[in-house]
Chains A and B, each alone.
Chain A
Amino acid sequence: MIRFLKNRIAGGADPSQSLALGSLEFELMEILWSCEESNVRDLVPKLSRPLAYTTVMTTLDRLFKKGLLGRHKSDRAFVYSPLFSRQEWERKRAGNLVADFLAGPRPSRELLLSCLLDAVGEHDAALLDELEKKIRSRRKELSRQGQP
């Protein structure tokens, strides 16, 4: 119980840490997002590689302590279910990432902003050349007429 509370407090102090997932953790979360709830025994055969029952149990326990899974007892075994949808988890993770960047030094903020100002479309270079040519010729025309 004390360890659980310590973990929860530690998790609360650094939310980005609790939302970061290892590969097995992520795989388990994905299975749970698709099937909504499951116990350890049912999860083991659904994994992409054969893993020991205890390994999966420990990982699920870690996810529970991170506050990503909820659990209740059914027939002397825990049934785990995700506390956030995948979308909510991704939103929280992105939010934490942005908050970390903004709390960081100035270069980090600038990096984030340059990422936000991302590419959405480019103008045709040939068209721009042609427009520039027109502007030059119009400028010449005006200067011949005596305007600056």
Chain B
Amino acid sequence: MILPYALRLVCLCFASFFVLNAAAGLLVRIASASAIRFAESKTPNAAARFLLAAHLFPVALATLFVLALCVPSYLWLEPTAGAERVGGICALLGLLGVATCLHSMARTAISLFASLRHYRLCRLGGQEMRLPGAPSPTVVLEGEAPLLAMFGLLRSRLLISRGVLRTLSAEELDATLSHEHAHRTSRDNFKRLLLLLAPDIFPFVRAFRTLEHSWAKFTEWAADDQATAGDSSRAIFLAAALVQVARMGSGPRLPFLSTSLLARDRDLAVRVNRLLRAAPVTPALPSKTRPLLLAASFLFAGCLVALLIAPPTLSLVHELLELLLH
């Protein structure tokens, strides 16, 4: 297949993106069980951050390679004159790269639309009000469904059913609202969007399901910890609220881009037992070494970028791209 200069660049970008994303993704998939075990030894907040980073690592690496190395080396070293032949394998990899990216974009768009539609439908039938202690404007729905969920990416909205309001005591409600507030401050819905946007290893193959489930579990635990703030009685109220809401029966099926008190919770007993543990989990205070670590990371990243964009590195990358192209 003979392609002009710009199309060759596009083909190379998608092909190298696909190869790197698939290779790194496979590594992450193989290491996911160990990663989850490692995360379990950390605090829920750190564990959730680690698993999210592991999930996003392949796409971040592939994007970085394409933008920082592939494009500059091509623009700098590839002669602009004339069309050139592109190998069948490169074209196929490029197409697979396009398919993987399009699939993740379509999935994200569908989820965004479903979440928006669900929220609008609930708002049409509900009543918007401000509950005392609620982190954001709340839509109260009539009915006995055990619904307590946070919708929205930037301006979050809380959905709660009249049944939940009636069932929970003031203290239990306060604890659950703090739990939802914790999801809001950690921007968990936005992180869900990132997970959806991250392309899979191959189109239509969800390889990171286990990582996603574990991440969701740790975000719930982290929100529990933030809501109870190391206070045993608050922890009991939150545990009681969880059991009360679970006792209300079936939970509504919610869109992926929302956080709910119970809907996706498969380990209710573990969560309640965790809350009832004798020593309450205190949220980690910001470490004094954090700014130092951050500065060191920036320095390291700067050195790495300088090394990467050095002419010999770009020439090497260009040679690799030529190999892939033909």
Q: Do A and B come together as binding partners? A: yes
Nearest to B239 among chain A residues (CB) is A135
Q: Is the CB of B142 within 8 A of A110?
A: yes
Nearest to A114 among chain B residues (CB) is B143
Interface residues of B (CB under 8 A from A): 121-122, 124-126, 141-145, 147, 161, 232-233, 236, 239-240, 243, 246-247, 249-253, 263, 268-269, 272-273, 276
**Sample (17) of A-B pairs whose CB atoms are under 8 Å apart:** A109-B125, A110-B125, A113-B141, A114-B145, A116-B121, A118-B252, A122-B249, A127-B268, A131-B272, A134-B272, A134-B273, A135-B239, A135-B243, A135-B272, A135-B276, A138-B236, A147-B232
Q: Is the CB of A123 within 8 A of B246?
A: yes
Q: Tell me if A121 counts as interface (CB < 8 A to partner B).
A: yes
Nearest to A107 among chain B residues (CB) is B142
Interface string of A114-148 (1 = CB under 8 A from B): 10111111110101100110110011001000011
Interface of B (DSSP majority class): helix
Expressed in whole angstroms, the Cα–Cα distance for A147 and B278 within the complex equals 13
Interface residues of A (CB under 8 A from B): 98, 102, 106, 109-110, 112-114, 116-123, 125, 127-128, 131-132, 134-135, 138-139, 142, 147-148
Q: Is the CB of B233 within 8 A of A148?
A: yes
A-B contact count (CB 8 A): 80
Q: Is the CB of A131 within 8 A of B250?
A: no
Q: Is the CB of B232 within 8 A of A142?
A: yes
Nearest to A110 among chain B residues (CB) is B142
Contact of A117 among B124, B145, B272 (CB under 8 A): B145
What residues of A have a CB within 8 angstroms of the CB of B144 in the complex? 114
What residues of B have a CB within 8 angstroms of the CB of A114 in the complex? 142-145
What residues of B have a CB within 8 angstroms of the CB of A98 in the complex? 121
Expressed in whole angstroms, the Cα–Cα distance for A110 and B247 within the complex equals 22
Contact of B269 among A109, A112, A127 (CB under 8 A): A127
Give chain B nearest CB distance to A110 CB in angstroms.
Answer: 5
What residues of B have a CB within 8 angstroms of the CB of A132 in the complex? 240, 243
Known: A106-B125, A113-B125. 20 other contacts (CB 8 A): A98-B121, A102-B125, A112-B125, A114-B145, A117-B141, A117-B252, A119-B249, A119-B250, A120-B252, A123-B246, A123-B268, A127-B268, A128-B246, A128-B247, A132-B240, A135-B236, A135-B240, A138-B276, A142-B233, A147-B232
What residues of B have a CB within 8 angstroms of the CB of A139 in the complex? 236
Give chain B nearest CB distance to A112 CB in angstroms.
Answer: 7
From B125, B161, B240, B272, name the one whose CB has the most chain A CB atoms within 10 angstroms.
B125
Give chain A nearest CB distance to B272 CB in angstroms.
Answer: 5
Q: Is the CB of A120 within 8 A of B251?
A: yes
Q: Is the CB of A116 within 8 A of B142?
A: no
Nearest to B142 among chain A residues (CB) is A110
Expressed in whole angstroms, the Cα–Cα distance for A148 and B189 within the complex equals 34
